[in-house]
């Protein structure tokens, strides 16, 4: 039996369960005693945010299959049950950490979320006055009757359901009312200090409202109530082949996003069966979609509490990114790039250098044209301001704006309109394909003729996430590579056939096959007795052909190490299938985001950087870019900082087991002595951090 035939018998891991396993690893940071207390709370919030997106994007087909009791591809009633069981267990762990560990520890540090029953007379008076002046005027209770049906409840909004006795003003016994909590209201308020106490007290909006629900229904009695929150399907679906104006269609779709299919209902742990059943019926949800939580129904908003606490000792020590080692402040980028390529390892080195490159291009009178892809840039973007300024200075500016960047659609539509308003050429890429490649191309007039300079990145152009995500920025004046980028921009704007490229690989045309070929070449080299090595770093591996190609190469003897932060469908070290595959996930203070692909077949070494994960959507339904690093010194540096350092991480790394479980690289659970273990991120922060 050939290795390839046997390889197809390898059972791959489930993608959705792998995503949930990733969140378990993130939640481990909320447990770690070596992590500052407020940061532990923040990791708990991150898990909640991740779960929100999981439901918004991944759960709908499972729930639909469960409702119809029909198998729809991989989705069945059983898949929904299994997924629900796993999420319920994860949520139970979350709230156990929140209630049993973090809240008591915060109280010991003088920070307390104080409930109604714990407030003294003076505090209750303050809460009452605050409610009457600042909150009650914004609340509009809706009593349900035939003229007032169950109101539209927006995705992830905070609401209360109330059961009442007595009759309304018209003598009717409509016993159910809904109170929407406006999003404009903060979720936590700092209370006046207690005389003689060093504690800082906070009150949550849900506690504040529940204490005064009766005030909203004068003459009636509240017998039951619960806070609740519904999560809805939020992945925008627009038939690009049918619409005449994608921007207009997306704007219309955004208006409906908040009211998509209901997928999850969260209520207070003490919510009565009567009220929870009433809500399940309203949202057409099965019992397994109900989550009873012993605390706030939205732990994502804990970020607001964290931001209100003035306690630097309970946060990570601030990190100041150093100026890129290869760059001299004040030196012209154009002069520097004539000497060779430049690598910026973010966020260890500052993203400000990328903005400085664009700023110099905007201000240089010899720069004639600037072309850039825009996927995510943040709510307030200096980068966008610079592009607008370039237009004002008479430069030709082309922006390829991805309108379908999930949850950034509205911001990107606004940016597109602002750029068009000053005369920039704005295009939206290719119908049916997201433009995820990160490219900035500058064309400059020089004595010898026109010269191109470029910035490429494994990440996005968002200065905020550039301080939190590990990514590689690559600055180059390489004629062959920049000529490739020119052709790619022309292709995106004109839709003309893409010519043969010199160096770059582009999805959906070349990248998938090229990576498969490189994996197969490593397997063939190993089978021939040559040294064969593959090391890949990425966010996710969910493409089945890629996973099976790696397994086949492993069976032929290629040594394979994968550093995959999130979902991974390939099991590691399954006897007879992936004996030579080791897979690790590094979850640290920073979000691992760089994509690095290393191949060695015999004496030949290749190293590629890319915007793409090894996912089917990235390889076949997106415009993605990969480019080779041919400079030996830069290749060595990337190997050292992005691959070797992470392969030796024993503090923040987890090892994937054949059955899909992850175990800590440094030993079992809480018994790990993390102070003597190696952290790749900590080492790089120490190496590059600014001393100033």
Cis peptide before 19 (omega within 30 of 0): no
d(CA 105, CA 311): 14
Q: Please say whether the beta carbons of 612 and 478 come within 8 A.
A: no
d(CA 671, CA 199): 32
- Quote the tokens at residue 64: 């639909």
Kindly tell me the burial class for residue 676, based on how many C-beta atoms sit within 10 Å of its own C-beta (0-12, 13-18, 19 or more).
exposed
Q: Is 376 helix (H, G, I), strand (E, B) or coil?
A: coil
DSSP letters for 133-193: IIIGGG---EE-BTTBPPPP--TT--EEEEEEES--TTS----EEEEE--TTS-SEEEPPP
d(CA 428, CA 209): 45
Q: Which residues pair with residue 369 across a beta bridge?
A: 396, 443
Which phi and psi (to 5°) does residue 101 adopt? -115, -60
Long-range contacts from 5-9, C-beta under 8 angstroms, 24+ separation: 6/555, 6/576, 6/577, 7/548, 7/551, 7/552, 7/555, 7/577, 8/548, 9/577
d(CA 278, CA 284): 10
Query: C-alpha 655: how far from its chain's center?
Result: 22
Nearest to 155 by CA among 252, 64, 260, 238: 260
R_g over Cα of the chain? 27
Cis peptide before 313 (omega within 30 of 0): no
- Quote the tokens at residue 212: 């005064």
Q: Please say whether the beta carbons of 269 and 293 come within 8 A.
A: yes
| Helix ranges, 264-369 (H) | 273-283, 302-308, 333-338, 352-363
Of the listed 436, 455, 491, 512, which one is catalytic? Answer: 436
Residue 658 vs residues 30, 352, 547, 672: alpha-carbon distances, Å: 26, 42, 14, 22
Whether 678 is a known active-site residue: answer no
d(CA 84, CA 93): 14
Work out the end-to-end distance of the chain between its first and last CA atoms, rounded to an integer number of angstroms: 62
Question: Buried (b) or exposed (e) across 175-197, using 16+ Cβ within 10 A?
Answer: bbbbbbbeeeeebbbebeeeeee
Which phi and psi (to 5°) does residue 576 adopt? 85, -10
Number of neighbouring beta carbons within 10 Å of residue 338? 12
Number of neighbouring beta carbons within 10 Å of residue 533? 16
Residue 144 vs residues 209, 211, 275, 441, 654: alpha-carbon distances, Å: 20, 22, 13, 58, 51
Number of neighbouring beta carbons within 10 Å of residue 269? 11
d(CA 465, CA 376): 10
Q: Which residues pair with residue 176 across a beta bridge?
A: 163
Helix axes 77-96, 37-58, angle to 10 degrees: 170
List residues with catalytic annotation: 436
């Amino acid at each position: 039996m050939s290795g390839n035939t046997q390889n197809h018998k390898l059972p791959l891991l489930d993608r959705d369960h792998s995503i949930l396993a990733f969140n378990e690893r993130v939640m481990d940071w909320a447990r770690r005693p070596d992590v500052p207390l407020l940061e532990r709370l923040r990791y708990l919030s991150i898990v909640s945010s991740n779960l929100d997106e999981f439901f918004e994007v991944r759960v709908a087909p499972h729930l639909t299959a469960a409702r119809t009791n029909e198998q729809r591809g991989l989705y069945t009633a059983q898949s929904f049950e299994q997924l629900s069981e796993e999420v319920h267990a994860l949520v139970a762990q979350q709230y156990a950490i929140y209630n049993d560990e973090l809240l008591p520890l915060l109280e010991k540090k003088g920070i307390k979320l104080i409930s109604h029953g714990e407030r003294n007379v003076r505090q209750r008076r303050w809460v009452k006055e605050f409610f009457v002046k600042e909150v009650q005027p914004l609340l509009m209770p809706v009593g349900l009757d035939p003229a007032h049906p169950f109101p539209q409840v927006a995705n992830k909004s905070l609401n209360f359901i109330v059961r009442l006795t007595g009759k309304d003003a018209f003598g009717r016994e409509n016993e159910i009312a809904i109170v929407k909590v406006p999003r404009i209201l903060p979720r936590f308020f700092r209370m006046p200090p207690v005389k003689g106490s060093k504690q800082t007290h906070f009150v949550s909006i849900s506690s504040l409202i529940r204490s005064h629900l009766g005030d909203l229904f004068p003459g009636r009695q509240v017998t039951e109530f619960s806070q609740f929150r519904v999560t809805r399907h939020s992945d925008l679906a627009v038939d690009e082949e049918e619409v005449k104006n994608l921007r207009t269609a997306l704007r219309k779709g955004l208006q409906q996003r908040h009211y998509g299919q209901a997928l999850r209902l969260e209520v207070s742990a003490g919510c009565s069966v009567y009220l929870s059943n009433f809500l399940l019926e309203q949202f057409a949800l099965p019992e397994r979609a109900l989550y009873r939580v012993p605390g706030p129904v939205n732990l994502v908003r804990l970020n607001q509490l964290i931001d209100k606490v003035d306690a630097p000792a309970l946060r990570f020590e601030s990190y100041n990114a150093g100026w890129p080692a290869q760059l001299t402040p004040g030196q012209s980028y154009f002069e520097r790039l004539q000497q060779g390529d430049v690598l910026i390892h973010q966020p260890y080195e500052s993203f400000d250098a990328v903005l400085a490159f664009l700023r110099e291009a905007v201000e240089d009178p010899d720069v004639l044209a600037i072309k850039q892809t825009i996927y995510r840039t943040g709510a307030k973007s200096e980068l966008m301001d610079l592009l607008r300024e370039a237009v004002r200075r008479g430069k030709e500016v082309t922006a390829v704006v991805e309108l379908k960047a999930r949850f950034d659609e509205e911001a990107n539509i606004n940016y597109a309109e602002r750029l068009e308003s000053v005369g920039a050429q704005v295009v939206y890429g290719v119908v049916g394909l997201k433009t995820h490649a990160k490219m900035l191309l500058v064309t400059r007039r020089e004595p010898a003729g026109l010269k191109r300079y470029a910035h490429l990145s494994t990440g996005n152009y968002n200065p905020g996430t550039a301080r939190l995500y590990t990514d590689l920025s690559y600055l180059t004046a390489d004629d062959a590579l920049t000529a490739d980028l020119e052709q790619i921009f022309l292709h995106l704007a004109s839709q003309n056939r893409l010519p043969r490229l010199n160096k770059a690989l582009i999805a959906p045309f070349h990248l998938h096959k090229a990576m498969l070929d490189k994996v197969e070449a490593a397997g063939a080299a190993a089978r021939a007795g040559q040294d064969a090595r593959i090391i890949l770093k990425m966010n996710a591996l969910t493409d089945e052909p890629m996973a099976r190609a790696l397994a086949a190469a492993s069976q032929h003897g290629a040594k394979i190490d994968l550093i995959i932060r999130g979902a991974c469908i390939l099991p590691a070290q399954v006897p007879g299938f992936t004996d030579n595959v080791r897979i690790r996930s590094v979850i640290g203070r920073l979000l691992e985001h760089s994509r690095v692909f290393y191949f060695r077949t015999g004496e030949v070494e290749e190293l590629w950087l890319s915007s793409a994960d090894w996912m089917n959507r990235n390889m076949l339904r997106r415009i993605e870019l990969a480019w080779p690093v041919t400079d030996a010194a830069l290749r060595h540096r990337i190997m050292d900082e992005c691959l070797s350092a992470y392969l030796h991480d024993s503090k923040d790394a987890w090892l994937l087991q054949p059955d899909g479980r992850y175990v800590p690289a440094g030993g079992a659970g809480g018994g790990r002595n993390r102070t003597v273990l190696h952290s790749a991120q900590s080492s790089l922060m120490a190496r590059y951090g600014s001393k100033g």
